[in-house]
Amino acid sequence: MLNMLFGNLFAPQPQNVRMVSPAEIKQWHKAGEAVLIDVREAGEFAAERIPGAINLPLSTFDPAKVPVVPEGKKLVIHCRSGARCGMAAARLAASGFSGDIHRMEGGIMGWRFVGGPTA
C-alpha cells in the first residue's frame, strides 16, 4: 500500500534529472538563466510564487505544455517542498524530454529560506 502511495517519490530519477540547491537556482534566476516551472496547484501559486515562474499543476501536468527552453537557459521544476517536482520531472523525462531537468531542493520553502524573492 505504501509503495502505491509513495513509490514514485523514492524511485530513482532519470539520468537527465538533477537536484539543485535553491541558492544555485537563485543565482540562475537573478542572471536570467532559469525557466521556472511551478507544479503546485493554482491556489498555491496564486498565494505566492517566484517571479517569472510558469504554473503547470502536477494534477494536470502535461509534458507537452512545458515551454521550449532557450539556448543558455536551464529548466527548473519546483513545488512546495520538493516531492511533487520529482514526480513531474519523472513524467517529463518519460515523455522523451532529452534536455537537463533541474529539481529545486526544498521547493519554494527552500527558496524562501535562502532569501529568494516571491510575489
* CATH at 60: 3.40.250.10
Residue whose cell numbers read 543558455: 72
Q: Examine residue 33 and state whether it is found in any structural domain, yes or no.
A: yes
**Residue range(s) defining the domain that contains residue 21:** 13-113
pTM over 0.85, yes/no: yes
4 pLDDT band, cuts 50/70/90, is very low
Q: Examine residue 8 and state whether it is found in any structural domain, yes or no.
A: no
Q: Examine residue 56 and state whether it is found in any structural domain, yes or no.
A: yes
Distance between CA 109 and CA 105 in Å, rounded?
9
Q: Examine residue 119 and state whether it is found in any structural domain, yes or no.
A: no
Q: Examine residue 118 and state whether it is found in any structural domain, yes or no.
A: no
In the chain, the percentage of residues whose pLDDT exceeds 70 is 88
Q: Would you give the distance in Å from CA 47 to the centre of its chain?
A: 17
pLDDT in tens, 16-28: 899 999 999 999 9
Q: Examine residue 5 and state whether it is found in any structural domain, yes or no.
A: no
Residue 3 has pLDDT above 50, yes or no: no
Q: Examine residue 27 and state whether it is found in any structural domain, yes or no.
A: yes
Query: Dihedral of CA 40/69/111/16: which sign?
Result: positive
Domain count, the chain: 1
